[in-house]
Amino acid sequence: MYDTIIIGAGPAGMTAALYAARSNLKVAILEQGAPGGQMNNTADVENYPGFERISGPELAMKMFEPLEKFGVDHLYGIVTQIEDKGDYKVIRADEQAYKTKTLIIATGAKHRQLGVPGEETYNSRGVSYCAVCDGAFFRNQDLLVVGGGDSAIEEGLFLTRFANSVTIVHRRDQLRAQKILQERAFAHEKVSFIWDSVVEAIKGNDLKVTNVDIRNLKTNQVTNHAFGGVFVYVGLDPVSDFFRDLKITDDEGWVVTDDRMRTAIPGIFAVGDIRQNQLRQITTAVGNGAVAGQEAYHYIVDQGL
DSSP bridge partners of 31: 76
Per-residue binder mask for ligand NAP (CB under 6 A), 143-182, x = binder? ---xxxxxxx-x----------------xx---x------
Go through 263-299 and write b for each residue having 16 or more CB atoms within 10 A of its CB, e for each that does not: beeebbbbbbbbbebeebbbebbbbbbbbbbbbbbeb
Residue 3 found at the interface with ligand NAP (CB under 6 A): no
Among the listed residues 87, 94, 133, 250, the single catalytic one is 133
Residue 234 found at the interface with ligand NAP (CB under 6 A): yes
Closest Cα partner for 32 from 1, 6, 67?
6
Among the listed residues 73, 130, 196, 237, the single catalytic one is 130
Backbone angles phi, psi at 201, to 5 degrees: -160, 145
User: How far, in Å, CA of 166 to CA of 160, rounded?
Assistant: 6
Out of 2, 20, 28, 42, the residue judged to bind ligand FAD by CB under 6 A:
42
Structural contact between residues 271 and 104, judged by C-beta atoms closer than 8 angstroms:
yes
What 3-state DSSP class applies to 92?
strand
User: How far, in Å, CA of 252 to CA of 177, rounded?
Assistant: 22
Among the listed residues 73, 84, 134, 142, the single catalytic one is 134
Backbone angles phi, psi at 194, to 5 degrees: -120, 115
Residue 106 found at the interface with ligand FAD (CB under 6 A): yes
**Among the candidate windows 151-159, 191-199, 209-217, 246-254, which touches ligand FAD by CB under 6 A?**
151-159
Per-residue binder mask for ligand FAD (CB under 6 A), 215-244, x = binder? ------------------------x--x--
Q: In what order do the strands lie in the sheet with 165-169?
A: 127-128, 229-232, 142-146, 165-169, 191-194
Tell me how far, at minimum, the Cβ of 168 lies from ligand FAD, in Å. Answer: 14
Per-residue binder mask for ligand NAP (CB under 6 A), 107-146, x = binder? -------x-------------------------------x
**Among the candidate windows 20-28, 249-257, 259-267, 281-289, which touches ligand FAD by CB under 6 A?**
281-289
Residue 113 found at the interface with ligand FAD (CB under 6 A): no
Closest Cα partner for 102 from 273, 238, 302?
302
Annotated catalytic residue 133 = yes
Residue 92 partner contact from ligand NAP, ligand FAD, none using kind-dependent CB cut-offs of 5 to 8 Å:
none
User: How far, in Å, CA of 153 to CA of 171, rounded?
Assistant: 14
Alpha carbon 117 to chain centroid, angstroms: 25
Closer by beta carbon to ligand NAP, 101 or else 170: 170
Residue 12 partner contact from ligand NAP, ligand FAD, none using kind-dependent CB cut-offs of 5 to 8 Å:
ligand FAD
Residue 10 partner contact from ligand NAP, ligand FAD, none using kind-dependent CB cut-offs of 5 to 8 Å:
ligand FAD
Give catalytic residues, as residue numbers. Answer: 130, 133-134
Footprint of ligand NAP (CB under 6 A): 47, 114, 146-152, 154, 171-172, 176, 198, 233-236, 280-281
